[in-house]
Amino acid sequence: MQEFGDFANIDIDKLLKTADGQFARIEELQKTMTSVVGRAQDEDGLVSAEYAAEGLRELELHPKAMRLSSAELAEKVKEVVREASDDLQKQVSEAMGEAFGEEENPMRLIKDPDAALDQVRSAEAAYNRTFEDVMGELDRIRRRLDL
């Protein structure tokens, strides 16, 4: 009889409990993500913004902001929107860190594209090894059956 190696020793109940826990964390993360909003306001209180997953949600200009030159106002608006977007990114990263743990946080890959490429290359190498093993085993089976 053929041995199954480590596969024969898998604790199915533990595997299912782990998967259920991961699904529960992902479901909670999805709920959290719908309510995450980044907020920012300039130091003078003239411009405030809210930024969410769909983009810029709110932009409020205090009436005194109209006294600024168009260039000054444009700079304030751009800076506040950028800060609100950064606040959203920070909150998303924190929520993902809570759900996945800091080491497995997918948001850290955004900040480190080289680490993301390393993981892709590692996954590709593992896939290639597995594919070669399976094809080799299929070839041995084919030869044994004289096909």
Q: State pLDDT tens for residues 73-93.
A: 999 999 999 999 999 989 988
Least confident range from 6-10, 37-41, 112-116: namely 6-10
Q: What is the DSSP string of 55-105?
A: EEEEEEE-GGGGGS-HHHHHHHHHHHHHHHHHHHHHHHHHHHHHHH-STT-
pTM value? 0.59
Q: 17-72, pLDDT tens digit by residue?
A: 777 777 887 788 788 888 899 999 999 999 999 999 889 999 999 999 999 999 99
Residue 1, pLDDT score: 42
Mean pLDDT, the chain, integer: 83
Which H or E run includes 146? none
List Cβ<8 Å contacts ≥24 apart for 126-135: none
